[in-house]
Amino acid sequence: MSQLEFKRFRRLRNNPIIRDMMRETHLSVKDFIYPLFVINGEKIKNPIKSMPDVYQMSIDVLVEECKQVRDLGIPAVILFGIPEKKDEIGSDAQSENGIIQRAISAIKQNVPDLLVIGDVCMCEYTSHGHCGIVCGNEVMNDDTLIHLSKIALAQAKAGVDMVAPSDMMDGRVAAIRQTLDTHKFKNLPIMSYSAKYASAFYGPFREAAEGAPKFGDRKSHQMDYANSDEALREVEEDIFEGADIVMVKPAGAYLDIIYRVKNEFGMPTAAYQVSGEYSMIKAAAEKGWLDHDKIMIETLTAIKRAGADMILTYFAKNMATILNKG
């Protein structure tokens, strides 16, 4: 055996201290954006069956939750509204008194040091559950842009810190940017769900946000999960139209997309570890088949390692608690 020549990688894995020193990727509480679901009423905290530890909350409960989130050091939340009444055009989303507008101003009043992001989409607000204006079986692109702009503007007027269009209509970043700019919101950033795939991983979210389409699916506007070059074209276009942060969604099964987007554009890049990714871990852990915390940490580390600068995740509070303990 005297002739063997090889490198001994194990030298740098000998003990926890040296392993720690060699670690390339570190999660921080500051990486996380926490998604929250807000509903009308008072003192309401409805559990979501398919998403353990996630709730629909009325505004009073939401504000208390936001204080906890802030105290944990999590910098931002993203809000999804469930309106009392849904209609064809999702009126509640663009109304001054809409659930999301009231939630935004309540949080900004009571927890001003928490960054509030508004999800801009119509599916939670429309009677048909689609992300835009429907004509026959079609989700109309250009007609929808007008409404998305109104939703973004209503959120801006309520005091939101950032808007995040998740609808995947073409041209929505341009439309929203123009509307915000002409209404004195030039400094309000847009985080665009740029490469958002038509994914079965959104299943549990649709229970949480009550936004499942009543017919058809979202394949005419969300991306085909088989495509990767197309994601770069989507992201490039959103940057051109004025997106300040670009997002890839889902995250765990799309690490290659996160990697390519970050490498190609060097933009602030967000990744959304979506409801299905969360629920799979919860379910397996409940069965005792996987170690909950270890899987949580491993998946989030992988998403960051792939290139995400920020991660939207239902694990944010859980993860922050662990990180704060050191």
- Which positions are catalytic? 196, 249
Per rule CB under 6 A, count of chain residues that contact ligand PBG: 9
Residue 111 in the binding site for ligand PBG (CB under 6 A)? no
Residue 173 CB, nearest distance to ligand PBG (Å)? 15
Q: What are the CA-CA distances from residue 253 to residues 120, 243, 271, 285 (Å)?
A: 24, 24, 11, 19
Work out the end-to-end distance of the chain between its first and last CA atoms, rounded to an integer number of angstroms: 44
Should residue 166 be labelled a site residue for ligand PBG when binding is judged by CB under 6 A? yes
Burial of residue 160 (CB within 10 Å: 0-12, 13-18, 19+) is buried
**φ, ψ dihedrals at 290, nearest 5°:** -135, 155
Does 121 engage in binding with ligand PBG (CB under 6 A)?
Answer: yes
Give the contacts of 122 (CB within 8 A, at least 6 positions apart): 89, 90, 93, 130, 131, 132, 133, 144, 147, 148, 151, 167
Instruction: Please tell me the distance from the alpha carbon of residue 122 to that of residue 151, in angstroms, as a whole number.
Output: 9
Pick between residue 261 and residue 312 the one whose CB is nearest to ligand PBG: 312
CA angle 189, 190, 191 (to 5 degrees): 120
CA dihedral sign, ordered 252, 257, 259, 261: negative
274 binds ligand PBG (CB under 6 A): yes
The dihedrals phi and psi of 7, each to the nearest 5 degrees, come to: -85, 145
Q: Smallest gap, in angstroms, from Cβ of residue 193 to ligand PBG?
A: 7
Q: Which of residues 212-241 bind ligand PBG (CB under 6 A)?
A: 218
| Binder among 48, 54, 66, 123 for ligand PBG (CB under 6 A) | 123
Determine if 54 is a binding residue for ligand PBG (CB under 6 A). Answer: no
Contact call for residue 37 and ligand PBG (CB under 6 A) = no
Residue 322 half-sphere exposure, CB side, CA atoms within 13 Å?
13
Q: Does 126 bind ligand PBG (CB under 6 A)?
A: no
**Cβ closer to ligand PBG: 209 or 320?**
209
**Near ligand PBG by CB under 6 A: residue from 55, 125, 197, 205:** 205
Residue closer to ligand PBG, measured from CB, 45 or 219 = 219
Please identify, among the stretches 85-93, 101-109, 116-124, 251-259, the one whose residues bind ligand PBG according to the rule CB under 6 A: 116-124
Nearest to 203 by CA among 3, 48, 46: 48
Q: 243 or 274, CB closer to ligand PBG?
A: 274
Contact assessment for residue 247 and residue 272, using Cβ atoms and an 8 Å cutoff: yes
Report if residue 194 touches ligand PBG, rule: CB under 6 A: no
Nearer Cβ to ligand PBG, position 119 or 161? Answer: 119
**Residue 119 engages ligand PBG in binding (rule: CB under 6 A):** yes
- ∠ CA 254-147-251, rounded to 5°: 10
Is residue 202 a contact residue for ligand PBG (CB under 6 A)?
A: yes
What does the binding site for ligand PBG look like in residue numbers (CB under 6 A)? 119, 121, 123, 166, 202, 205, 218, 274-275
